[in-house]
Copies of this chain bind each other. A is one copy, B any other.
Amino acid sequence: MSVRIITISRQFGSAGHSIGELVAKKLGIKFYDSELVTKIAEKSGFDASFIRENGEQTSSGSGLFYDMGMYGGASFAPLSLYDQLYITQHNIIRELADKEPCVIVGRCSDYVLEDRDDCLHTFIYADGDFRAKRILEIYGDNGVKIEKRIRDKDNKRSAYYRHYTNREWGDPHNYHLCLNSGFLGIEECADMIISAVKSREGK
């Protein structure tokens, strides 16, 4: 089946956002990364900063921080705010995929859409030097050692992915294509994703 949806899982600093944006631009389709945060905020009432902080990484309180005000007297286990956020994200990603061709970055979108045959799931990664340089260029130095910033973000995304999918983040079997952006470059990664999409046309 032809590819309508491209999901991009990416390591922090691997240029996954830029690659996804370029793919969407070249294919003339919608791009959802921070745009997804806005949509989730509109739909759920969650604050955008809460979504950005907890929409694809576990927080130290995850699984413990229940909305007891809503479910305090119920006999079933209440949903944490994090679980509610995940469910909202899940529903919005599925609605977007139904609606029109697009590129979706992060938020377990490969797992959320795994039952569909019209998706290309990709994972973008790179070596530490490439990522460190890019993080410092884009986000600046925040006083925390760059190796620690990378490790912490990877660990959080990995734990979040494992928690909600029971799969390993970055395991090739979850994706159709895994690209080392540090070696290949942003433009070539985008072109390879587009090539994969084109190769499925009419199939």
> Which residues on A are within 8 Å of B, measured CB to CB?
120, 123, 125, 127, 170-173, 175-180, 183-185, 188, 191-192, 195-196, 199
Instruction: Please give the count of copies of this chain that the complex contains.
Output: 2
Instruction: Tell me the dominant secondary structure on chain A's binding face.
Output: mixed
- How far is A85 from B134 in the complex, measured between Cα atoms in Å? 42
- Cα distance A185–B199 when bound, in Å? 9
Closest Cβ of chain B: how far from A193's Cβ, in Å? Answer: 10
Q: Which residue of B lies closest to A174 (CB)?
A: B180
24 A-B contacts (beta carbon < 8 Å): A120-B183, A123-B172, A123-B178, A125-B172, A125-B173, A127-B173, A170-B171, A170-B172, A172-B172, A175-B178, A176-B180, A176-B184, A177-B178, A177-B179, A178-B179, A184-B196, A185-B199, A188-B195, A188-B196, A188-B199, A191-B195, A192-B192, A192-B195, A195-B195
A170: chain B residues at CB < 8 Å are 171-172
A191 contact set on B, CB distance < 8 A:
195, 199
* Chain B: CB-nearest residue to A125: B172
Give the distance in Å from the alpha carbon of A173 to the alpha carbon of B170 in the complex.
Answer: 9
